[in-house]
């Protein structure tokens, strides 16, 4: 199994994009363009790392990523329920849905 520092870099970048998107939305709530970054960046980065990793490495890393994606889904489902802004609510729930979809897809493929 060959693991490189790139896998950790992907996780750090995904967390960084989430923090940056949330910070930018806090400072500039009237600019919804940051919502696109918030929703797409974690999924794209983790999906790309999973697609480019070797089968041995992905078998080791995917349980870790699925736990991270489930935590992201729980956090954003909670934020989606608590917020009053309809656009923010839809975006947070889309992020939670995408994270759960990536998690459950892997387990569905293992069962089939």
Task: Answer whether 91's CB lies under 8 Å from 39's CB.
Answer: yes
The per-residue pLDDT for range 39-77, each reduced to its tens digit, is 888 888 877 877 777 778 777 777 888 888 888 899 889
Confidence of residue 110 (pLDDT cuts 50, 70, 90): low
Task: Answer whether 54's CB lies under 8 Å from 78's CB.
Answer: no
pLDDT at 62: 78
Mean pLDDT of 12-31: 88
Q: What is the pTM of this model?
A: 0.76
């Amino acid at each position: 199994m060959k693991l490189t520092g790139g896998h950790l870099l992907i996780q750090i970048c995904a967390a960084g994009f989430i923090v940056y998107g949330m910070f930018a939305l806090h400072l500039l709530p009237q600019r919804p363009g940051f919502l696109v970054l918030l929703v797409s960046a974690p999924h794209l980065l983790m999906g790309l790392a999973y697609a480019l990793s070797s089968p041995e490495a992905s078998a080791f890393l995917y349980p870790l990523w699925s736990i991270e994606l489930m935590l992201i889904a729980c956090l954003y489902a909670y934020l989606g329920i608590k917020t009053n802004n309809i656009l923010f609510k839809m975006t947070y729930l889309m992020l939670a849905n995408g994270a759960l979809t990536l998690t459950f897809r892997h387990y569905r493929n293992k069962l089939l």
